């Protein structure tokens, strides 16, 4: 065992322990790197002294590294087992790449590397350079992604990684030393079958998680639907309270006039509200209960503002219209029309897979800020095609909303 071997072993084990310490962001990185690095350094040098560089060396180094992590973090999870195994595969990969590069450049066989000290030194140094580069790359990647898999559920991946390490180790051993016998072939065949079984188990776990994800998604959809219905009920209750308050005021006014025995005023008050009811005519033929109810309650506000609003609705039953977000946008739009307090025609027609909303404010060529804000909000929410134009007697707005595959729970 030469000083160069001691140096290469030092670089390899301390790159490994340092990578683990910083990847897991340990509180005492230097202590972990020093202690685990020295233990693994001693194990590696003993192995080099007896000219052994096989699977058991890899397993011993892994056990020391993982055991140290468990002591430092006081926990055992998937990441603590997974990262060290992956890094060992990286070390093997770097060694293989450096050997291939050196044999290609110098046009020699793998066995000749160990016979020429200069070429051997070049191969070892190149291997450690690759290890450093890949360590930095993997560290940056792992810093951006958090591994949250549960060990109890995903232990199969750990077993698969162990199987891969042993398989790669046997293949490299046979390749480097040219030794292929029945024992090695049988071991590789067993590991291939074992890995296939593990892979099948991984598929089963993935399928189980997928089904659970679908069930959770359905539960979330049901919850969202119930939450929306609850909000809708609250909205209806609020509007109903407003309507009840309005009706109470009307009845109180009639009662006050009865006490005064002013029949002409009573008749005049009743005719006034009958006239308002006749002014606010609308046609609804949709079958969308929430939509119909809320729009009707919103239209009752026209009574207070004396707004001459004619509403025409011709739509089919569709979950899109009962979606609370659409209802809120539409209510905001109707509120802006009512507050504008002008003679207005509002139509909502379903044409093919589009809802076409036409607003015509008669005798008003001025832009209404609140109405335009409501239109912009609806346009941004549903990416509508909007056309605003003026003619001789009115201010017109036309919106076209795609209702295909919308409002699905």
Could you report the per-residue pLDDT of 320-362, keeping only the tens digit for each? 887 777 888 888 888 887 777 677 888 888 888 888 998 888 7
- Report whether pLDDT(406) > 50: no
Residue range 64-93, pLDDT digits in tens? 988 988 888 888 887 888 888 888 878 878
**Tens digits of per-residue pLDDT, 25-60?**
888 889 989 999 899 889 888 887 766 555 677 778
Percentage of residues of the chain with pLDDT beyond 70:
80
Quick one: pLDDT at residue 1?
47
Q: Angle at which helices 78-106 and 3-23 pack, to 10 degrees?
A: 140
**pLDDT for 172:** 65
Collect all residues with Cβ–Cβ distance below 8 Å to 69 and sequence separation of at least 6: 20, 24, 80, 84
Predicted local confidence at residue 35, as pLDDT: 92
Taking only the tens place, the pLDDT of each residue in 156-178 is 777 777 777 677 766 766 665 55
**Residue 237: how many CA atoms within 13 Å on its side-chain side?**
6
> ∠ CA 65-66-72 to the nearest 5 degrees?
90
Torsional class of 66: left (φ above 0), alpha (ψ -120 to 50), beta (otherwise):
alpha
Asked if pLDDT for residue 407 goes beyond 50, the answer is no
The strand pairing partners of 357, in sequence order, are 348, 399
pTM for the structure as a whole: 0.49
Q: Residue ranges of the domains in the chain?
A: 3-180, 280-409
Question: Is the pLDDT assigned to residue 209 strictly greater than 70?
Answer: yes
- Is 280-409 CATH 3.30.565.10? yes
Q: Kindly report the average pLDDT of the chain as a whole number.
A: 78
Q: Map tokens 């699977």 to a residue.
A: 55
């Amino acid at each position: 065992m030469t000083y160069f071997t001691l140096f290469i072993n030092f670089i390899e084990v301390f790159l490994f322990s340092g990578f683990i310490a910083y990847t897991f962001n340990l509180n005492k990185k230097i202590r972990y790197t020093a202690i685990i690095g020295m233990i693994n350094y001693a194990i590696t040098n003993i192995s080099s002294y007896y000219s052994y560089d096989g699977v058991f060396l890899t397993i011993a180094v892994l056990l020391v590294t993982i055991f140290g992590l468990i002591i430092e973090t006081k926990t055992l999870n998937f990441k603590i087992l997974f990262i060290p195994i992956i890094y060992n595969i990286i070390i093997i990969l770097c060694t293989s790449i450096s050997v291939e590069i050196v044999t290609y450049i110098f046009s020699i066989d793998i066995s000749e590397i160990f016979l020429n000290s200069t070429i051997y030194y070049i191969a070892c140094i190149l291997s450690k350079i690759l290890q450093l580069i890949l360590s930095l790359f993997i560290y940056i990647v792992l810093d951006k992604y958090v591994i949250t898999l549960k060990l109890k559920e995903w232990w199969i991946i750990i077993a698969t990684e162990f199987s891969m390490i042993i398989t790669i180790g046997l293949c490299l051993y046979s390749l480097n030393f040219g030794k292929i016998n029945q024992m090695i072939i049988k071991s590789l065949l067993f590991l291939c079958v074992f890995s296939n079984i593990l892979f099948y188990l991984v598929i089963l776990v993935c399928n189980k998680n997928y089904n659970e994800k679908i069930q959770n998604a359905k539960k979330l959809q049901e919850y969202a639907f119930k939450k929306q219905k609850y909000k809708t009920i609250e909205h209806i209750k609020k509007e109903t309270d407003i309507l009840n308050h309005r009706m109470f005021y009307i009845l109180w006014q009639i009662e006050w006039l009865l006490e005064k025995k002013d029949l002409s005023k009573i008749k005049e008050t009743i005719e006034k509200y009958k006239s308002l009811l006749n002014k606010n005519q609308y046609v609804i033929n949709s079958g969308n209960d929430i939509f119909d109810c809320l729009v009707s309650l919103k239209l009752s506000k026209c009574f207070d503002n004396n707004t001459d609003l004619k509403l025409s609705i011709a739509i089919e039953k569709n979950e899109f219209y009962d979606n609370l977000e659409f209802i809120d946008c539409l209510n905001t739009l109707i509120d802006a029309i009512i507050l504008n307090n002008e003679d207005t025609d509002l139509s909502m027609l379903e044409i093919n897979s589009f809802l076409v909303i036409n607003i015509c404010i008669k005798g008003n060529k001025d832009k209404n800020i609140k109405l335009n804000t409501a239109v912009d909000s609806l346009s941004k929410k549903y990416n509508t095609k909007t056309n605003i134009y003026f003619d001789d007697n009115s201010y017109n707005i036309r919106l076209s909303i795609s209702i295909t595959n919308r409002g699905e729970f």
